[in-house]
Amino acid sequence: MKRIFMQISLALMLLIAGIGVVGLLHYNYLGILFIITGVAILSLPLIQLIHSNKLLDQEKDELQNRFTTIFDFQAVGMALISLEGKLLKVNPSFCQILGFPENEILHVNFTRFLHSDDLMNYQYYLTQLLDNSIKTYQCEQRLVNQNGEIVWVITNLSLIRDQQNRPLYFISQIQNISAQKNAEEQLRHMAYHDPLTGLANRNKLEQYIHHLISMARRHQNAFALLFFDLDRFKNINDTIGHGAGDILLQIVAERLKSMVRSTDLVARLGGDEFVVVITDVKKTESLAAIAQKILDVILKVMVIKGNDIYITTSIGISLYPYDGQTMQTLMKNADLAMYRAKEQGRNNYQFYTLEMTTRAQEKMALQNAIGHALVKNEFILHYQPKMDLATSRITGIEALLRWQNKEYGMIAPDEIVSLAEETGLIIPVSEWVMTTAIKQLKQWQEMGFNTLTMAINCTGRQLRQANFVESLLHILNENGVPASLIELEITESLVMQDTENMLRVLYELKDLGIKIAVDDFGTGYWSLNNLRRFSVDKIKIDKSFISQIPMNDTCAGIVSAIIAMAKKLGVRVIAEGVETREQYEFLLREGCSEIQGYLLSHPVSSDMMTEFLKKPESISNQLTT
């Protein structure tokens, strides 16, 4: 009878253990639960039978064999552990996980292999098991193997009791889940880090700032966000290629990492935007010093693919809790401060001030107002003459945009253009400029100024517009003005972006006979090669160089060099911002083709320009005497 009972119970246990192994492969925890139940079911009758001493020796042996077989061939590590914690019996899988041979771990206390951080938890649950408060205990814990490496395991622990319910020993199962843990760790890393630079990403930054905010509320700690992007990074990326741009970002990341403390965080938000979080801020002076260090460290030369590259950055700083109580406000305000730093000429840092928000609000109001400006006829054009130095004759006029708004007064054209670009109104505004300037040129032609050219400033977005050439041609035809009298002034950075597309547009314009002038020449990355490639007609030396003549030898030298180089290439040179007679004489001597500036005339209304054109002798007489 007993034999039958034993066989049924063994068969049942084997079945459960079998299901357990299958479950184990698919559902770790469930599988282990099955096995432990199976082994427990096995152990109970075993102990019962062994202790009752009523079993036949043959049956005993058979049972012992089966138990040993199951114990030894389990894929998971198994151990019987004494109530004091010593390892009484271990299976090969258990030894393999720990990397020790059986004889070296038998009778050693199991806690010796446990990671110190998991010890307290383990001991707590042992007492719970002994108190009968819980039947079984399952957890993830860390063991330390023979090589001193951490092995993550799922541990199942149960207590075996005798018939009188007295504790006999623990039975423990461990399953190595290190691979799974590593994969999880990698996933977690990927979710919180930027793959290109290894810096924290936006998720991590958010998490960190929320953590800092919750800590700071309790401890009254201040922390700061330093928000920055690299000045003109897009230009560099377009010039030296994206691969090199990536290397540049990695170098910047390394430099940033090397200069912050372990409690600070450096994050890349994407593109060339970075945030450094400085914790435990005591004085704003120390922040200023850190910001300056960042500026300095970034400015150091980078050698990428054989090119020496210098890059600057502009930093905006916001401080918790003064400049914002939430991550969103702090980021927004640091961003506003960064824009101020860019306005201040880049390569500097700015602390956020309330005034910046006021300005941002004003800007929003202006963005609204610009939408109505066209309809309300608030735009006008002012005109500034250009003179040929060889003949002292007025050769052309530049059209400069003005916006007279009742509420905000006169708004500078650079600001109008950037507002219009931000609001997408740049296309209609530019079309208005082209139409008005060309109509005006027609009027002057009708007055007899037949050879006068009209220079119109163009933005990148305008040139990139699909039907730009067509619409310009349409305006010219409608007004009966020859294309050869139109000069488009473009800046170099504008062409450097999206070069191939730009080349196509520029060639189309040139085919029509329209002239191309490079504006603000000398302030960007324009190379000789580009001058040839784009076959521009004219370069305009930026007024920042002209204003330094004759006091500054370097500027004078640059201007002479530009003129000499342009002559060699057969490109005309015009100097803008000519205000003094000395400047005029210098340019004349150097062989500059044309001048433009207050010396001749400020930009003025069309009526005043008509007056000027009618008696140009006065100015040329003045200059030549």
The contact set with ligand C2E (CB under 6 A) reads 384, 400-401, 412-414, 417, 433, 457-459, 489, 519-520, 543, 576-579, 597-598, 603
Which DSSP helix (H) or strand (E) runs through 10?
helix 2-26
Q: Which residue, 171 or 433, is less far from ligand C2E as judged by CB?
A: 433
Give the side-chain half-sphere CA count within 13 A for 357. Answer: 12
Q: Kindly state the smallest distance separating residue 398's Cβ from ligand C2E, in Å.
A: 7
CA 139 to CA 128: how far, in whole Å? 14
User: CB neighbours (10 Å) of residue 346?
Assistant: 14
Q: Which does residue 231 bind out of Ca ion, ligand C2E, none, counting CB within 5 to 8 angstroms by kind?
A: none
> What sign has the CA pseudo-torsion 277, 282, 287, 293?
negative
> Helix, strand, or coil here: 386?
strand
Q: Which does residue 460 bind out of Ca ion, ligand C2E, none, counting CB within 5 to 8 angstroms by kind?
A: none
Q: Which residue, 39 or 373, is less far from ligand C2E as judged by CB?
A: 373
Q: Kindly state the smallest distance separating residue 418's Cβ from Ca ion, in Å.
A: 15
Q: Which residue, 238 or 519, is less far from ligand C2E as judged by CB?
A: 519
CA distances (Å), 562 to each of 407, 517, 526, 580, in order? 43, 14, 12, 20
Q: Which residue, 520 or 590, is less far from ligand C2E as judged by CB?
A: 520
Q: Kindly state the smallest distance separating residue 438's Cβ from ligand C2E, in Å.
A: 12
CA distances (Å), 108 to each of 130, 436, 590, in order? 20, 95, 94
Q: Which does residue 414 bind out of ligand C2E, Ca ion, none, counting CB within 5 to 8 angstroms by kind?
A: ligand C2E
Q: Which does residue 22 bind out of ligand C2E, Ca ion, none, counting CB within 5 to 8 angstroms by kind?
A: none
Q: Which residue, 39 or 486, is less far from ligand C2E as judged by CB?
A: 486
Q: Which residue, 201 or 459, is less far from ligand C2E as judged by CB?
A: 459
Q: Kindly state the smallest distance separating residue 621's Cβ from Ca ion, in Å.
A: 27
Q: Kindly state the smallest distance separating residue 519's Cβ from ligand C2E, in Å.
A: 5
Q: Which residue, 108 or 505, is less far from ligand C2E as judged by CB?
A: 505
| Burial (Cβ within 10 Å: 0-12, 13-18, ≥19) of residue 109 | middle
| Burial (Cβ within 10 Å: 0-12, 13-18, ≥19) of residue 445 | middle
Q: Which residue, 407 or 414, is less far from ligand C2E as judged by CB?
A: 414
Q: Kindly state the smallest distance separating residue 575's Cβ from Ca ion, in Å.
A: 10
Q: State yes or no: residue 229 binds Ca ion (CB under 5 A).
A: no
CA 379 to CA 222: how far, in whole Å? 47
| Cβ-closest position to Ca ion | 489
Checking phi first, is residue 448 left (phi over 0); if not, alpha (psi -120 to 50) or beta?
left
Checking phi first, is residue 288 left (phi over 0); if not, alpha (psi -120 to 50) or beta?
alpha
Q: Which residue, 314 or 459, is less far from ligand C2E as judged by CB?
A: 459
> What sign has the CA pseudo-torsion 442, 444, 446, 450?
negative
Q: What tokens were used for 578?
A: 């000519």
Q: Kindly state the smallest distance separating residue 574's Cβ from ligand C2E, in Å.
A: 11
| Cβ-closest position to ligand C2E | 597
Q: Which residue, 171 or 400, is less far from ligand C2E as judged by CB?
A: 400
Q: Which residue, 323 or 431, is less far from ligand C2E as judged by CB?
A: 431
Q: What angle do CA 6, 10, 11 make, to 5 degrees?
A: 115
CB 562 within 8 A of CB 528: no
Q: Which does residue 433 bind out of Ca ion, ligand C2E, none, counting CB within 5 to 8 angstroms by kind?
A: ligand C2E
Q: Kindly state the smallest distance separating residue 565's Cβ from ligand C2E, in Å.
A: 20
Q: What tokens were used for 187?
A: 């996933």
Q: Kindly state the smallest distance separating residue 217's Cβ from ligand C2E, in Å.
A: 47
Phi and psi of 125, rounded to 5°? -75, -25
Q: Which does residue 412 bind out of Ca ion, ligand C2E, none, counting CB within 5 to 8 angstroms by kind?
A: ligand C2E
Q: Kindly state the smallest distance separating residue 495's Cβ from ligand C2E, in Å.
A: 14
- Residues contacting residue 346 through CB under 8 Å, at least 6 positions apart: 231, 312, 313, 314
Q: Which does residue 502 bind out of ligand C2E, Ca ion, none, counting CB within 5 to 8 angstroms by kind?
A: none
CA 374 to CA 380: how far, in whole Å? 10
Q: Which does residue 469 bind out of Ca ion, ligand C2E, none, counting CB within 5 to 8 angstroms by kind?
A: none
Size, binding site for Ca ion by CB under 5 A: 4
Q: Which does residue 454 bind out of ligand C2E, Ca ion, none, counting CB within 5 to 8 angstroms by kind?
A: none
For Ca ion, the binding residue among 489, 492, 590, 594 (CB under 5 A) is 489
Per-residue binding letters, 495-524, with Ca ion (x by CB under 5 A): ------------------------xx----
Checking phi first, is residue 377 left (phi over 0); if not, alpha (psi -120 to 50) or beta?
left
Per-residue binding letters, 307-326, with Ca ion (x by CB under 5 A): --------------------
Q: Which of residues 443-462 bind Ca ion (CB under 5 A)?
A: 457
Q: Which residue, 277 or 394, is less far from ligand C2E as judged by CB?
A: 394
CA 499 to CA 300: how far, in whole Å? 28
E-only strand ranges, 321-407: 349-351, 379-388, 393-405
Q: Kindly state the smallest distance separating residue 360's Cβ from Ca ion, in Å.
A: 27
Q: Kindly state the smallest distance separating residue 203's Cβ from ligand C2E, in Å.
A: 39
Phi and psi of 143, rounded to 5°? -110, 160
Q: Which residue, 157 or 454, is less far from ligand C2E as judged by CB?
A: 454
Q: Kindly state the smallest distance separating residue 369's Cβ from ligand C2E, in Å.
A: 18
| Burial (Cβ within 10 Å: 0-12, 13-18, ≥19) of residue 515 | buried
CB 452 within 8 A of CB 396: yes
Residues that bind Ca ion (CB under 5 A): 457, 489, 519-520
